[in-house]
Amino acid sequence: MDQKFVSSAEIEEARKKRAEEWKAAYERLGEKPPEIEEEYDPRTLYEKLQEQKMKKEEAFQEMTRFSNLIHRLDEDEIDFLATLEHEQRGKEKEKMKKVEQELEEFRRAAAKADEEAAPKLIIQPETVSAAPIKTSVKKDAQRMILESAIKIPSRKRSLNNDDTLSSNSNEQSKDQKRSKLDSSSSKESSSSTTSNNNITNNNTLASLLAYSDNSSSDENTSDDES
C-alpha cells in the first residue's frame, strides 16, 4: 500500500537532490545554472513576522541564559541582610563573652582547689633546736668547773710543798744547831697541814660532783617536759 502523506524533510531532501543534478548538468554544458525561484509560502505576512520574532527571542534568551543566574539585590533586600548580619554579630559577641566568663570562673575554681589541696608546712619552733645547745653549753661549763677544781688542789699542793721546802732550807741554813726533836716536830706539823688540805680538797670535789649530778637530772626532766 503506497503512502499517501510525505513529510517536509523528505520533500526538502528531494529538492536538494534535484538542484544538485541540475547544477551538474549545467557544469557539463559549461553554462551557468539559472537562479532557483523561491518556493511559494501560503502563510500570511503576520504569521511570517511572528515566526521571525520568536526566533529572535529564542536567540536572545540563549545568549542571556547565564546572565539571568545573577540576581541583583534591591534596597529593601540590602537593608534586611544588613540588619540580619548585625544581629548575628551581636549574638556571636554575647556567646564569646559568656565563654570567657565561664573560663575565668573555671580558672578561679581550679586555683582555689589547688590551694586547698596543697599540704600545709608545719614550722617547728626554734626552742626545740635550741634546747640541745643549752644542755651542751651547761655540760661544757660543768666540765670546765670540774677541771678547774681538779687543777686548783694540785696547784695548792705544789705551792705548799714549795713553801715547806723553802722554809726548811731557810731554817736549816739559819739554824743548823737545832735539835732533831725540833725538826721532827716541824715535819709533823707540815704533814698535818697537808692532810688538812687534802681533806678540804676532797670535800670541795664531792660537793661539785653532787651539784653536777643535780643539774644534769634537772636538765633531763626539763627536756622530757618540753
What's the pLDDT score for residue 64? 78
In a domain, 224, yes or no: yes
Query: For the whole prediction, is pTM greater than 0.85?
Result: no
CA trace torsion 193, 195, 200, 205 (10° rounding): 140
Query: Is the Cβ–Cβ distance between 226 and 127 less than 8 Å?
Result: yes
Q: Is the backbone of residue 5 left (phi > 0), alpha (psi -120 to 50) or beta?
A: beta
How far, in Å, CA of 179 to CA of 185, rounded?
A: 10
CA distance 65 to 70: 10
Q: Is the pLDDT confidence value at 15 over 70?
A: yes
Inside any domain, residue 192: no
Residue range of the domain that includes 217: 134-163+199-226
Does some domain include residue 121?
no
Question: How many domains, the chain?
Answer: 1
| Cβ pair 205, 149 in contact under 8 A | yes
pLDDT for 105 equals 92
Model confidence band, residue 100 (pLDDT cutoffs 50, 70, 90): very high
Residue 151 in domain: yes
* 217 belongs to a structural domain: yes
- From 97-111, 184-198, 201-215, the region with the lowest mean pLDDT: 184-198
Q: What gap in Å lies between CA 66 and CA 109, rounded to an integer?
A: 61
Whether residue 60 lies inside any domain: the answer is: no
* 131 vs 220: CA distance, rounded Å: 11
- For residue 87, tell me if it sits in a domain: no
Whether the per-residue pLDDT at 52 is higher than 70: the answer is: yes
| 49 assigned to some structural domain | no
